[in-house]
């Protein structure tokens, strides 16, 4: 199962459906594509869906039967069993990177380990500012589990419905164009830019994953429209997610944000119906063209940029100097891009211009060098002192 397609509430519903009905069942959760924002935190609209909505969708599509959800006061009130789906506070869960970092709902499957402990199954796959989350199994003692769930948690017993679920007809539920524009405007106009971009980071992450999952379903069932438009559209969503996260980090540090983020968001949302074959709509927006090549990039600067990027990505400097894209390296993510930018700014004594913080400027050594040369109003970067390992 490609766990990267799911959020932290969906993923363990999808994983359990595969265990019950066979590999590939999880893709049925991608049959529907929707954009129906609801009121969210700080007066901002959100596409995030709570656990009850996720359970309803999963039981409808994945051949699952869900018992009555109940709230347990603590770990002592949870009974491990096959199909015991639990949603608790990630802040206390030691196997996820949110542990003691962030309060948020997170799901897992709770089973007996055959002894006096408990077995945790969690298929979540994500990159975070605090480390990586990867699918796995963890055995906890009862004491460790009590510390992991010290407060209320939601628990649901999942079972198999009758028969193997059949592939559904693709469904679409898109809001009207006015709602799309109002959604983007809410994030554009919100006065607290740090809070707005923090929430927009989550929004674009969820929107991009939904579209990746829907594409995987359409491809699996032979219904994906032909041509390059679907893949180009997904690439544009990934790049927007990366740019929004980078903008959030910059604004957190008191720096200006790039312009045009919400325009790109609205354009991608308007293009969704046509790209995925669900009706008329504008063509997918073209990627922003790269900046004109700046002649005369010093080899010393190329080596410095490649050395920094290679250290962050855990790859070979020569590979990047030869032209390999940063996003071709397995460890690449938006978090690594932010780290590359921040390290270069510190090492070279520069500040990247806000409008240069677009993915097309940050995925290759030479593109980054051009940004460096444009930084600080064209001022030269701090003198470079290179040794055999880079800086």
What is the per-residue pLDDT for 391? 33
Check if the beta carbon of residue 90 is closer than 8 Å to that of residue 104.
yes
Measuring CA to CA, how many Å separate 195 from each of 67, 188, 208, 290?
Answer: 37, 12, 20, 30
What is the per-residue pLDDT for 284? 52
> pTM for the complete prediction?
0.84
Strand partners, 159: 65
Phi/psi at 134 (nearest 5 deg)? -135, 150
Spatial CB neighbours of 81, under 8 Å, sequence gap ≥ 6: 110, 111, 112, 157
Spatial CB neighbours of 380, under 8 Å, sequence gap ≥ 6: none
Q: How far apart are CA 186 and CA 163, in angstroms?
A: 45
C-alpha angle 14-235-98 in degrees, rounded to nearest 5: 50
Give per-residue burial for 330-351: e unless 16+ CB within 10 Å, then b. Answer: eebbbbbbbbbbbebbebbebe
- H helical segments located in the chain: 10-21, 51-61, 142-148, 177-189, 193-220, 229-252, 261-275, 299-313, 317-321, 334-348, 365-374
What is the per-residue pLDDT for 163? 78
Q: How far apart are CA 36 and CA 32, in angstroms?
A: 12
**Per-residue pLDDT tens digits of the chain, which is 391 residues long:** 999 999 999 999 999 999 999 999 999 999 999 999 999 999 999 999 999 999 999 999 999 999 999 999 999 999 999 999 999 999 999 999 999 999 999 999 999 988 889 999 999 999 998 999 999 999 999 999 999 999 999 999 999 988 778 777 889 999 999 999 999 999 999 999 999 999 999 999 999 999 999 999 999 999 999 899 999 999 999 999 999 999 999 999 999 999 999 999 999 999 999 999 887 655 555 544 444 444 567 888 999 999 999 999 999 899 899 889 998 998 888 888 889 999 998 898 888 888 888 888 899 999 999 888 888 655 556 655 444 333 3
């Amino acid at each position: 199962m490609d766990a990267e397609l799911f959020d932290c509430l969906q993923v363990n519903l999808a994983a359990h459906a595969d265990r019950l009905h066979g590999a590939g069942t999880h893709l049925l959760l991608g049959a529907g594509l929707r954009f129906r924002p609801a009121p969210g935190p700080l007066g901002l609209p959100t596409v995030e869906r709570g656990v009850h909505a996720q359970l309803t969708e999963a039981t409808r599509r994945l051949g699952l039967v869900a018992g009555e959800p109940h709230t347990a006061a603590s770990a002592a009130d949870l009974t491990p069993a096959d199909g015991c789906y639990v949603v608790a506070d990630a802040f206390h869960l030691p196997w996820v990177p949110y542990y003691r970092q962030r309060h948020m709902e997170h799901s897992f499957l709770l089973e007996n380990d055959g002894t006096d402990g408990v077995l945790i199954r969690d298929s979540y796959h994500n990159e975070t500012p605090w480390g990586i989350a990867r699918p796995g199994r963890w055995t906890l003692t009862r004491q460790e589990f009590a510390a992991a769930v010290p407060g209320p948690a939601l628990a649901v017993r999942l079972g198999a419905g009758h028969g193997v679920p059949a592939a559904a007809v693709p469904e679409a539920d898109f809001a009207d164009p006015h709602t799309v524009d109002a959604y983007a405007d809410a994030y554009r106009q919100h006065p607290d830019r740090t809070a707005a971009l923090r929430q927009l980071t989550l929004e674009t992450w969820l929107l991009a994953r939904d579209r990746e999952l829907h594409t995987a379903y359409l491809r699996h069932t032979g219904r994906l429209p032909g041509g390059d438009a679907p893949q180009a559209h997904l690439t544009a969503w990934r790049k927007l997610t990366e740019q929004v996260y980078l903008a959030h980090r910059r604004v957190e540090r008191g720096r200006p944000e790039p312009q045009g983020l919400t325009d790109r968001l609205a354009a991608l949302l308007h293009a969704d119906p046509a790209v995925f074959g669900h009706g008329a709509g504008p063509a997918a927006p073209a990627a922003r063209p790269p900046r004109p090549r700046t002649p005369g990039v010093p080899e010393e600067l190329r080596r410095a940029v490649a050395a920094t990027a290679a250290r962050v990505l855990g790859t070979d400097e020569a590979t990047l100097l030869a032209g390999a894209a940063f996003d071709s390296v397995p460890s690449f993510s938006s978090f690594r891009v932010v780290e590359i930018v921040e390290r270069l700014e510190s090492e070279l004594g520069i500040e990247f211009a806000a409008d240069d913080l677009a993915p097309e400027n940050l995925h290759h050594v030479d593109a980054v060098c051009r940004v460096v040369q444009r930084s600080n109003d064209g001022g030269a970067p701090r003198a470079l002192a290179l040794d055999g390992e880079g800086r």
